[in-house]
Structure 1
Amino acid sequence: MAGFTNAAFREIVRGFGGAGLLATEMVNARGFVWLDENEAEHPDRLWGVAEESRPLAVQIWDNDPDTMAKVGRRLAGEYKVSVVDINFGCPVRQVTEKAHSGSYLLRDPMRMHAIISQLVVACAPTPVTAKIRLGCSPDNVNCNEIAKVVEEAGAAALTVHGRTAKDMFKGHADWDRISEIKSHLKNIPLIGNGDLDSAEKVVAAFQNYNVDGVMIARACLGRPWLFAQAAAALRGEPIPPEPTMLEQREVMLRHYQLVIGRFGEEKGTVLMRKYACCYAQGKHGARFFRSHVAKVSTSQQFHSVVDEFFPVVDNQDRATVSS
């Protein structure tokens, strides 16, 4: 998830446990090559990748097989990542219509095959995986055909988000469609993605649909403990309760320290605004908190807004806003 799943967030998730494979923000392969050729610092989206714990997947995107292979070779050889994942699912216009990448490539299976097959050779023995959507639009659902292409090209696994590119994130993910894809695969695992925002929904996905794994994305942004809850539920154990509001506040502040430790106070504080909004989402007083935290630009301002407006729990164990 571009702009969110950086090294700071991954460290927070890893601290709670439960996630089998963490993934980076998607990396623009062409931009990576330009930085490398001009001896500039590697993309911020690769921050922490070389040093952090494994397993770890790096997701890359572009539409040129040679460029993708060049970057994949570096990721597998120099960075020694666990998995190189190809993003064929991003529906954002800047990636699709402007760069003819992401979900735009679902209309060009042969190009997808070329990208995957060259990456598989370049990254060997590091596995290469692919993430797709159901199709470009509800009138052009071709996920079954694409699944065959992905496997024939040598990918080690396929992840499918249960919406089309045109849907963006509207409506509901179609898990029946995801499940149908399994019959079109011979050997590689199918991973389902979309609308998994609770441990119970994760368990239901495995019980009701023909998938080998699941991916949690947007739902974890303000709840990095969701993976631990889902893992416990899948083991048949009691689901750990949500952290208290005070504990959630401390998680957010820890996250903030990691961000400013990398980017400095000014840039780090601005970057943290969106994360802070995620932590408050769905809580009483969240809108009021967001309106204030969206304006902070210093560490003092951030802590002041959190102290005054971040939702807390009162004596009646209900969410409220401190004053």
Structure 2
Amino acid sequence: MNARPPLLRVGPYQVDPPVVLAPMAGITNVAFRQLCRQYGAGLYVCEMVTTRALVERDPMTMHMITFNADEHPRSLQLYGVDPVNMAKAVRMIVDENLADHIDMNFGCPVPKVTRKGGGAALPYKRRLFGDIVRAAVRAAEPAGIPVTVKFRIGIDAEHLTYLDAGRIAEAEGAAWVALHGRTAAQRYSGQADWSAIARLKEAVTTIPVLGNGDIFSADDALRMVAETGCDGIVVGRGCLGRPWLFRDLAAAFAGQPVPEGPSLGGVAAVLHQHAELLIDHLGADKGIRDLRKHMAWYLRGFPVGGDLRRSFAMVSSLAELEDLLAELPPEVPFPEDAEGPRGRQGSPAKVTLPHGWLDDPEDASVPVGAELMHSGG
């Protein structure tokens, strides 16, 4: 299947292959990005941070926006509900040279975000959404920093927002738009609706449209491009415990054979490298504790006994990790059971919104208290 889209660019930067690592809270820190980047080029986005936390220089937030010296372009995702704070945050990024590309998050389905009118709830307020995008684009223009926008299909099946959001972002100067093919109500359950990506591509004609949702293999990526005509793909949960997915995607988009998955020994080597990178970033204790969440993803499908899996999930030092890795039979080939969906899926649920949120989509007032959620992103 040869479905490579045209050359993808964001501002002055070429994104080749046309692959973007989606920001994931607690996952896409500098350690994980470095691990993924060694498998191929593309765009690797930092964890989301809030505009208010950045402007107030929250210590956790300032640590979260760490980039490697060789990481280029430096891509940072902002969450915000207030055009004034968005402009302040982007001017800070410009003035202090904190990033080369800014992505804006309007896709988060988490209740603590939507109940304040943020994330996937916000594009319903068309004027406010446009004001926020415009504020970011104008503040970034003097430095030539491109601003991109990511959103979902809508709040739920009765309140779809993606076509308006795409047109508004395009009109306000976004460099591209990316659509996760689910509503906020779906969270990560069920199947992503790729046909919505195709409809957005038809509606947004002057900037690239990227597709996101259910890309767990190189074949999924090629199929999404073929079915939707999108200009690039955004990968989130598909790379959890599988940073080599970016190698597979690079091969597929280049028309080359997709490599075999690594043996258990190869996975163990990647896991060990991930541990070292996290320790460099977070320190020995916190780095190893942060690695625990990745264990089940790395070991998925491999014949590893329950006791050993539990030991991995409770590992407390690099030396202990090395002892556990030595117990894994290195020759075991990559299993078919390791393929397919991974990460959180959850169940569909009614979206929690501010009182009266759906009454007037033209209301441009800033949601009350939405930016109080500012502890480190």
Query: TM-score, structure 1 length as denominator?
Result: 0.90
Conservation of the 8 A alpha-carbon contact between 2:175 and 2:207? yes
Return the match for 1:26 from 48, 51, 55: 48
Return the match for 1:282 from 301, 307, 314: 301
Instruction: Confirm whether residue 85 of structure 1 aligns to residue 108 of structure 2.
Output: no
Return the match for 2:76 from 28, 39, 58: 58
Instruction: Confirm whether residue 121 of structure 1 aligns to residue 144 of structure 2.
Output: no
Report 1:239-258 matches (<5 A): 239-258=258-277
Paired position in structure 1 for 2:91: 73
Counterpart residue type for residue 163 of structure 1: R
Counterpart residue type for residue 286 of structure 2: K
Shift of 1:42: 4.7
Q: Gaps (5+ residues) in structure 2?
A: 1-23, 336-377
Q: Gaps (5+ residues) in structure 1?
A: none
Deviation sequence 1:161-204 (CA, Å, 0-9, x none)? 00001100000000011111112113011000000111111111
Aligned with 1:237: secondary structure?
coil
- Within 1, Cα distance between the matches of 2:161 and 2:237? 24
Instruction: Confirm whether residue 14 of structure 1 aligns to residue 33 of structure 2.
Output: no
Range that drifts further, 124-133 or 204-213? 204-213
Shift of 1:100: 2.7
Range that drifts further, 75-84 or 3-12? 75-84
The 1:41/1:294 distance shift into structure 2, 3 A limit, reads closer
Return the match for 2:231 from 188, 212, 222: 212
Counterpart residue type for residue 251 of structure 2: A
Shift of 1:307: 3.0
Conservation of the 8 A alpha-carbon contact between 1:77 and 1:123? no
Aligned residues: 310
- Within 2, Cα distance between the matches of 1:11 and 1:204? 27
- Within 1, Cα distance between the matches of 2:61 and 2:150? 24
Counterpart residue type for residue 125 of structure 2: D
Among all aligned residue pairs of Structure 1 and Structure 2, give the percentage whose two residues are the same amino acid: 34
- Within 2, Cα distance between the matches of 1:221 and 1:107? 31
Query: TM-score, structure 2 length as denominator?
Result: 0.77
The 1:174/1:42 distance shift into structure 2, 3 A limit, reads closer
Return the match for 1:100 from 107, 110, 117: 117
Counterpart residue type for residue 20 of structure 1: G
Return the match for 1:5 from 25, 28, 31: 28
Aligned with 1:130: secondary structure?
strand
Conservation of the 8 A alpha-carbon contact between 1:285 and 1:311? no
- Within 2, Cα distance between the matches of 1:288 and 1:93? 35
Larger RCO: 1 or 2 (CA < 8 Å, sep 6+)? 2
